[in-house]
Structure 1
């Protein structure tokens, strides 16, 4: 069983601002409510986090992951799990400029919860977890980016 999806929002903020907020992983728990904590383990030459440990509240279980990030500013941020409580996890943010002050941001996530966690994700629980991890993340980025 796979938990996957993507959600797109239009944000009344420049693409560079949206990208900067999503790339500031250490501050992500301030605006992304499913994210409990982020600990940076490695940084690239530009000081950006490339390897982090996260704790996320997926409602059915708290999930720990060690994630590897790569950056293509200001269009894309990719992540891939190196190890964690789920069998596999990959995700990405993409940012498209609509015009000078508006951005189309898409958050996509694909999770293979594995056998044990997969047994907890049945029926309506799957939809609720998808809503929390995917839709809510994009909507919360919109709120944060539009704050002045």
Structure 2
């Protein structure tokens, strides 16, 4: 199994408010930057996305992914890669923990494995950049 990169941020909102933004895939192009197109392919019994197609454009890297999502209420959402041209693995999760202050600690964990050879140090740095941007974008979207 691939190594995971992990980071956390505090967002001044309830877990339900944070998870509502995470679950609103249609809005991703407005706040994530790299996601240019998104399509929910399947939903689960609760109406949340179960399989999603994303077109990412991060300058030199442009790829289309299909991810499978699993939800644990407003506590956690995880995803695994179903299909990609450039990636072998794209597994991750957001874990939300309410804070006594009323905010939420959001932990993003990500493991990426590309089909082309890449040094582990470079791959972990790329994961860290993805995580930091995602957490900052999520915080701005929820609190803004």
Per the shorter chain, which TM-score range?
Answer: 0.7 to 0.9
- Which residue of structure 2 lines up, in the alignment, with residue 92 of structure 1? 93
For residues 4 and 29 of structure 1, the distance between their equivalents in structure 2, rounded to whole angstroms, comes to 25
Q: How many residues get paired?
A: 142
Are positions 1:46 and 2:46 aligned together? yes
Q: Which moved more, 1:53-62 or 1:36-45?
A: 53-62
Q: Report SS of the residue matched to 2:21.
A: helix
Q: TM-score of the superposition, structure 2-length normalised?
A: 0.86
Structure 1: gaps (5+ residues): none
Q: Report SS of the residue matched to 1:79.
A: strand
For residues 12-70 of structure 1, what are the alpha-carbon distances to aligned partners after superposition, in whole Å with 9 as ceiling and x for unaligned?
Answer: 11111011111112222221112222111111122211111111234431121110001
Q: TM-score of the superposition, structure 1-length normalised?
A: 0.84
Instruction: Map 1:120-131 to 2 at 5 A.
Output: 127=125, 129-131=126-128
Are positions 1:68 and 2:68 aligned together? yes
For residues 109 and 59 of structure 1, the distance between their equivalents in structure 2, rounded to whole angstroms, comes to 20
**For residues 35 and 4 of structure 1, do their structure 2 counterparts lie closer, same or farther at Cα, with a shift above 3 Å needed?**
farther
1:40/1:51 contact within 8 Å kept? yes
Q: Report SS of the residue matched to 2:66.
A: strand
1:3/1:130 contact within 8 Å kept? no
Pairwise CA distance, 1:100: 5.8
Greater RCO (Cα-Cα under 8 Å, separation 6 or more): 1
1:55/1:64 contact within 8 Å kept? yes
Structure 2: gaps (5+ residues): none
Query: Which stretches of structure 1, 4 residues or longer, exceed 2 Å deviation after superposition?
Result: 57-60, 121-127, 129-132
CA RMSD in angstroms comes to 2.2
Instruction: Map 1:31-42 to 2 at 5 A.
Output: 31-42=31-42
2:89/2:112 contact within 8 Å kept? yes
- Which residue of structure 1 lines up, in the alignment, with residue 131 of structure 2? 134
1:15/1:74 contact within 8 Å kept? yes
- Which residue of structure 1 lines up, in the alignment, with residue 26 of structure 2? 26
